């Protein structure tokens, strides 16, 4: 498996999804059952789009035929354990946009402790006109990509560059 590292370079819009671990999400050893991280990453993926102003997939299907963003590939690296009652955060960003796919990066943390890191390759899908029981990929919609890559300065004033979190320059300094 490839190393899963946080995205670096230009500003990557990010979203933080908060979750309290339930007893039912743990195994008999009272630690989080590994597959729950994938469920949380999936939830965080959708919440990322919500934070970018993208309507629900029900609405996008009705208006544009887009039924969602199915996963093509997923990787997860488990670094520390967690248990029920703990509050965690899932930080999500799109680290790469391609013509028909995009790569999401997730970091699950309890405070400063990284619990797991994940990466998903996803695509935008519509129902296949030849067989509505099947789906087919479409090019990444330009307007959705634009909404998701906008610098988030207005939202939080922080930008990820070279793997560190630093303050964004003021608009006057950029001009």
- Quote the percentage of the chain above a pLDDT of 90: 76
Question: Which entry of 27, 73, 87, 128 is annotated as an active-site residue?
Answer: 27
Cα four-point dihedral sign 21, 22, 26, 31: positive
The distance between the two most distant Cα atoms of the chain, rounded to a whole number of Å, is 57
Closest CA to 48 of 73, 76, 19, 14: 14
Handedness of CA 103, 90, 76, 115 (dihedral sign): positive
State yes or no: is 142 an active-site residue.
Answer: no
Q: Containing H/E element for 39?
A: helix 35-51
Q: Is pLDDT of 66 > 70?
A: yes
Domains annotated on the chain, with CATH = 14-150 (3.10.129.10)
What does the pLDDT look like over 95-111, one tens digit per residue?
999 999 999 999 999 99
Q: Kindly state the average pLDDT of the residues 106-129.
A: 97
Residue 114: exposure state from Cβ atoms within 10 A (0-12, 13-18, ≥19):
middle
pLDDT in tens, 138-160: 999 999 999 998 754 444 444 43
Taking only the tens place, the pLDDT of each residue in 24-61 is 999 999 999 999 999 999 999 999 999 999 999 999 99
Using the predicted structure, report yes or no on whether residue 167 has a pLDDT greater than 60: no
């Amino acid at each position: 498996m490839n190393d899963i590292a946080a995205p670096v370079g230009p500003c990557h819009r990010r979203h933080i999804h908060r979750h309290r671990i339930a007893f039912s999400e743990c195994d008999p050893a009272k630690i989080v059952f590994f597959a729950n991280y994938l469920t949380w990453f999936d939830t965080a993926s959708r919440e990322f789009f919500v934070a970018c102003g993208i309507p629900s997939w029900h609405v996008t299907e009705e208006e544009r035929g887009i039924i969602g963003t199915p996963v093509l590939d997923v990787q997860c690296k488990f670094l520390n354990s967690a248990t029920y009652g703990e509050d965690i955060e899932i930080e999500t960003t799109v680290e790469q946009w391609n013509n028909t796919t995009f790569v999401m990066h997730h970091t699950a943390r309890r405070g400063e402790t990284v619990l797991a890191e994940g990466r998903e390759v996803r695509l935008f899908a519509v129902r296949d006109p030849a067989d509505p029981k099947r789906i087919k990929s479409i090019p990444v919609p330009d307007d959705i990509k634009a909404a998701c890559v906008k610098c988030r300065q207005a939202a939080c004033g922080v930008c990820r560059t070279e793997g560190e979190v630093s303050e964004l320059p003021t608009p006057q300094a950029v001009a």
